Structure 1
Amino acid sequence: MASGGRMKNIVVVGAGQAGASLVARLRAKGFDGAITLLGEEPVPPYQRPPLSKAYLLGEMDMERLFLRPESFYADQGVNLRVGARVAGLDRSARLVHLAGETLPYDALVLTTGSIPRRLPAAIGGDLPGVYTVRGLADVDAMASEFRQGARVVIVGGGYIGLEAAAVAAKRGLDVTVLEMAPRILARVAAVETAEAVHALHERHGVRILTDTALARIDGDDRATGVTLADGTQLPADFVIVGIGIAPATDLAEAAGLTLDNGIATDAQGRTSDPAIWAAGDCASFPWQGGRLRLESVQNAIDQAECVADNMLGAGRDYVPMPWFWSDQYDMKLQIAGLNAGYDQVIVRDAGARSHWYFKSARLISVDALGDPRAYMVGKRMIEQGITPDPAALVDPATDLKALLRA
C-alpha cells in the first residue's frame, strides 16, 4: 500500500527528530504523494542531545548537528518549510493555517515535540541572563556566558541540569546546582545511580545543594544571583533553568484533540481524529494498562517510523524498547528499559558499575555507568524477557554474556 490508498497529501507539523524520521520512512516505504514538513525553527531538523554537550563546548559546528543534509529533503520530494509557525488547524476542512496561507491535507501528523518548563516571571524567570536548554537558539544565546571563572547557578538536578553543569565545569566555571528534592535524579533513577552521579560532579568541583528551594532570581535588568527559600543569597553571572520539559500540545488542544499526558493516540499512533496522527515527545500511547509518553531520541525515531508504516496500512501496534543515555564528563550513563515500580536494585561493580532494577523478581531496567557491556547485555535481557540471578550479577567474576546465554 505504498501510495497510502486515497491519501495523496501528508502534512507533518514539527521538524524535529520524529518529524524528520517520519518523512524519511514514508519515502523509504514507497509513498509517492506530496509531503510537507513544517518547522518553526529557521534551520533543518537537527540533533538535540549534542546541543548541551559537544556543540556548547565548541566541539561540533552547526552543520554537523543536522540530521540529514538540507538537500536530502528536496531530493526525496519533501517540501521542507523552515521558519513556518502553524497558527491553527481546521479539522473539518482538513486545513493547516499558517500566517497568510492554508495548507490542505489528507493526513496530518503532529510531531511537535516538547517545550522547556520555565520559572514564573513573578520570581524573575524572564530576566535576561536566565536560560533554558532546549533548542539551538537557546544554546547560541548562552554560549558567550561560558567564560572561565564565571558563576552559574543551575536550577534543577535532573539530566538537563546535570549535563549543563558538566559542560560548565569542563569550561572552568564556578557551578552550583539547586535541587528541591532530597537527592538529584529523584524521579528517574535509583538512589545508587543518583549517589554515583552526585559524587562524580563533586569530584569535578560542582556544588550540589539538595533539599533546596528557590525563592527568586535576583536582579533588576539582568539576573545577578538567586535567593533561596531560607534567605541565603547566591551570586551568579547567569542562571540556567533545567526543570524538565512538557509536551507541546497547544495546537492539538486548540483543535479539540484528546489530551492525556500529551496528545493521546491509540496503539498505532492515531489521535482522536482518525485523519491526524502523532509521534515523539508530544504523544502518549497505551502501555500495560495505562498510558506512556517517552522523551528520548530513540522513541522519537521508533514511534515515528511505526506511525509512518501505519499510515500506509501496516496496522502495527507500537511496542517501545526504551533506551536512553546521558553524557556526564567522560562517563556515559546508558539506560535500558523503564524502571517504573522497581522494588529492588542490584549493584554490580566489576571495574565499572551497573545498577539492575527488578520488579516482582523480574528484570525491568539497567543503569550502566561507563559500562557498555552491562548496558548491551542488560538491554538484550530485557528485550528477550530474561531475568538473571541477582547473586550472579553481584559477583564481579560472572561473565555477563554467559548469563544471557543461560
Structure 2
Amino acid sequence: LDDARALRTAIRPDSRVVIVGAGFIGSELACAARRMGAEVTLVEAAPVPFAAAVGTELAPAIAALHTRNGTDLRCGVTVTGIDGEDRVRAVRLGDGSTLPADVVIVGVGAAPATGWLDGSGLKLDNGVVCDETLATSAPGVYAAGDVCRWANPLFGETMRLEHWTSAAEQGALAARNAIDPSAATPCALVPYFWSDLYDGRVQFVGVPHADEVRVVAGGPAEDTLLALYRRGDRLIGALGVEQRRPVLRMRALIGKGVSWDDALAAAAEMTAS
C-alpha cells in the first residue's frame, strides 16, 4: 500500500517511467502509468514477455497490447545501472542505451519464502511439496496458495501457481481434506489468471505447454482473440482477450477432460452466437 501511494504521488503527466520486468505486475503498472499520462518504457530481459504464462506462439500478441497503446517495450535487454544522486535520472541498459527516467519501478518476479521452514520436516523444493490432496510430507499438515507445489492429477504434472483464484480454491480444499483425511479429495484444479491490460481483459485457463495452439476467434493483431491449446486429443488450455464468457466456459470443459473436437465445436458455437 505504501508503494502504491508513493507511485500515485510520483507519477505525473509527462513523467518518464521505466519499469523493469514485463510480467503481470510490470504490465499492469505500465497500463496505469499510461492512463496517468506518463511516458512509459517497459524493459524485459526475455525475448518476449508472457511466454511462460501463455506460451511462445501467442506471447507476442499479448506483448503487442503495449506497443499499440504507446508503451515502449524493450525485450532481450538487461539493466546494467541506474544513474542519479538525490533522485533517479536515468537507467542504463545492456545494449549500451540510456533511458531518461523520473520514476523507476522493478517487478521481476517472486520466490516462495520458505526459509523459515528449514528443518521443519516439510519437503521443500520451489515451495512446499504436496501430494494430490495438498498434504505435505508432515502428517496432518496441508498447504495452499502461492507456496504450494503439488501434483495436479488433471494434467499429470507438478505445479505451483501464484494467482489468487488458485489460492482461494486450494485453501477451501486443504481445509476440508485436513478435517477429514480419510475422504480427502485430489486437487484437480484448472489454473486461471486474468489481467486488465489497457482496454482489454486477458484471461488464460489451463496450461500453455501444448502440441497445437489454434486461434478460433479474432486474431493476434486484433482487439479480441480466442485460442485453444491441445495436448494429444485433449483440450488443455485457452487464451482470451476480451473473450470473458468463452474462456470461463473453456475452463469448465478442461476440468471435464473434454476432447479436442468437442472443444472446437463448443468454441465455434459460442463465438458464432
TMscore range, shorter length: 0.7 to 0.9
Cα deviation code 1:159-202 (max 9, x no counterpart): 22111111111111000011112112122123453222222221
Whole-angstrom CA distance in 2 between matches of 1:388 and 1:291: 23
Instruction: Give yes or no for contact 1:279–1:307 (8 Å, CA) kept in 2.
Output: yes
Q: Is the 8 A contact 2:152 2:187 kept in 1?
A: no
- Report what 1:315 is aligned to: 184
The higher relative CO (CA closer than 8 Å, separation ≥ 6) is in 1
**CA-CA distance at 1:282 after TM superposition:** 1.0
Q: 1:359 to 1:290 in 2, by over 3 A?
A: closer
How many aligned positions are there?
A: 264
**Contact kept in structure 1, 2:18 and 2:103, CA below 8 Å:** yes
Residues 230 and 295 (structure 1 numbering): CA distance in 2 closer, same or farther, change over 3 Å?
A: same
Q: State yes or no: 1:179 paired with 2:44.
A: yes
Contact kept, 8 Å, 2:250 with 2:263, in 1: the verdict is: no
Distance across 2 between alignment mates of 1:161 and 1:319: 30
Is 1:299 the equivalent of 2:171? no
Structure 1 pair 191/286, CA: closer, same or farther in 2 (3 Å)?
closer
Quick check: which has more Rg, 1 or 2?
1
- Structure 1 residue 348 corresponds to structure 2 residue 216: yes
The 3-state SS of whatever aligns with 1:215 is strand
Aligned counterpart, 2:237: 365
Q: CA RMSD in A?
A: 2.5
Which secondary structure does the structure 2 equivalent of 1:389 belong to?
A: helix
After superposition, the C-alpha distances for 1:223-249 in whole angstroms (9 at most, x for unaligned) are: 322101122111111111121111121
1:108 paired residue number = none
Secondary structure in 1 matching 2:196 = strand
Q: What SS class does the counterpart of residue 239 from structure 1 fall into?
A: strand
- Partner Cα separation in structure 2 for residue 342 and residue 155 of structure 1: 29
Report how far residue 390 of structure 1 moved.
9.4
> Which residue of the partner structure matches residue 118 of structure 2?
253
- With over 3 angstroms needed to count, the CA separation of the structure-2 counterparts of 1:137 and 1:346, relative to structure 1, is same
Counterpart in the other structure of 1:284 = 149
Conservation of the 8 A alpha-carbon contact between 1:377 and 1:401: no
Task: Flag structure 1 segments of 5+ consecutive residues without an equivalent.
Answer: 1-135
- Residues 287 and 148 of structure 1: CA distance in aligned 2, closer, same or farther (over 3 Å): same
2:152 corresponds to which letter in structure 1? W
CA contact (8 A) 1:322 1:336 kept: yes
Aligned-partner Cα distance in 1 for 2:245–2:185: 31
Quick one: distance in 1 between partners of 2:169 and 2:215?
30
Report SS of the residue matched to 1:246.
coil
Deviations 1:30-83 (A, max 9, x none): xxxxxxxxxxxxxxxxxxxxxxxxxxxxxxxxxxxxxxxxxxxxxxxxxxxxxx
Structure 1 range deviating more: 174-183 or 243-252: 243-252
Amino acid at match of 1:347: V
Following superposition, the deviation at residue 259 of structure 1 comes to 0.4
In structure 2, distance between residues paired with 1:182 and 1:188: 14
Counterpart amino acid of 2:164? V
Q: Which among 256, 263, 270 is matched to residue 400 of structure 1?
A: 270
Q: Distance in 1 between matches of 2:140 and 2:261?
A: 48
Distance 2:250 2:86 in 1: 51
With over 3 angstroms needed to count, the CA separation of the structure-2 counterparts of 1:401 and 1:182, relative to structure 1, is closer
Tell me if structure 2 keeps the 8 A contact 1:154–1:178.
yes
Q: Secondary structure, in 3 states, of the residue corresponding to 1:255?
A: coil
Partner of 2:8: 143
Map of 1:376 onto structure 2: 248
Q: Percent identity?
A: 37
Cα distance in 2 for partners of 1:392, 1:186 equals: 24
Alignment check: 8 A CA contact 1:161 1:242 kept: yes
